[in-house]
Amino acid sequence: MIGSVNPLIAKLDQACSLTGAARLRLEAATAHPSSLPAHHDFIRQGEICADLHVVMEGFACRYRIMHGGRRSILGWLMPGDMLDLHLIPHAADCAAATVGPCMVARISRHVLDELIASDQNLAEAIAWARLGEEAILRQWLANMGQGPASRQFAHLVCETFTRLRMVRRVNGPSFAFPFTQEELGDTLGLSSVHVNRVLQQLREEGLVTLYGRMLTIRDLARLERYAEFDPAYLQLASERRLIMDERKEAG
């Protein structure tokens, strides 16, 4: 299953049904991703990069080194996710690195401009993708630091599972999960020791297990309740259709 679907197309198509021509253009633009090893920085903080990166396979993250040496992970990037989607080249306010081995495509600003100019629908889909990106960021802000750590982690798992499903990267209850406990700690603002205890707790409660680099959801419904997870913020795409319909009725 993995690799069988272009994740970028899957994601954008969910926002605005793409034409065949648009699919072909996207397919061409992402046809030759580079294969990066685990823990490889591909955007440095402060670097001005005009090009767009697209994660095609594996996990990457955005992070920043804080005063005192502590690392803070500010976002996870999964297949179909774009980096620096802003239409303006600017200095990166945080670095980006792979977590496990990754496939990352690079689209030059020039090609991106062409893509957007060529297809109104595609331009709109990209705008929606950016909106979704922002929604996730705000959700992280709301999630982190609120309630017990086990709930926060459970929420993160629910989000990840949903995002992966949207780009057809899971179908069963398990998926590859290359984060170390220390990296999870850097994400949630917890010590790795405490992450370990949280994982044990969730395993004992029969919600989630993490063996090797494989995460398994034991009881999705209970996990979502436990995490207080509401997938609405990830489903801007379907919401969009509601809005379009409303407009037609109004106009």
Q: Which of 161, 231, 163 is nearest to 14 (CA)?
A: 163
Residue 3 vs 147, nearer CB to a second copy = 147
CA distance 10 to 251: 30
Pick out residues in 4-63 that bind DNA (CB under 7 A).
Answer: none
Among the candidate windows 59-67, 119-127, 192-200, 235-243, which touches DNA by CB under 7 A?
Answer: 192-200
Rg (CA), the chain: 18
C-alpha torsion 119→124→130→132, nearest 10: -130
DSSP 8: H
Query: Could you tell me if 129 and 82 are in contact, meaning their C-beta atoms sit under 8 angstroms apart?
Result: yes
Residue 94 vs 210, nearer CB to a second copy = 94
Count of Cβ atoms closer than 10 Å to residue 246 Cβ: 10
Among 148, 230, 232, 244, binds DNA (CB under 7 A): 148
Partners of residue 82 on adjacent β-strands:
54
Residue 96 vs 190, nearer CB to DNA = 190
How many residues belong to the chain?
A: 251
148 touches, from DNA, a second copy, none (C-beta below 5 to 8 Å by class): DNA
CA distance 60 to 79: 9
Among 5, 116, 131, 220, binds a second copy (CB under 8 A): 131
Residue 1 vs 48, nearer CB to a second copy = 48
Residues interacting with DNA, by CB under 7 A? 148-150, 180-182, 185, 189-194, 196-200, 212-213
Which residues in this chain contact a second copy in the complex, by CB under 8 A? 48, 64, 66-68, 70, 72, 74, 86-91, 93-94, 124, 127-128, 130-131, 134-135, 137-142, 144-147, 189, 228, 232-233, 236, 239-240, 243, 246
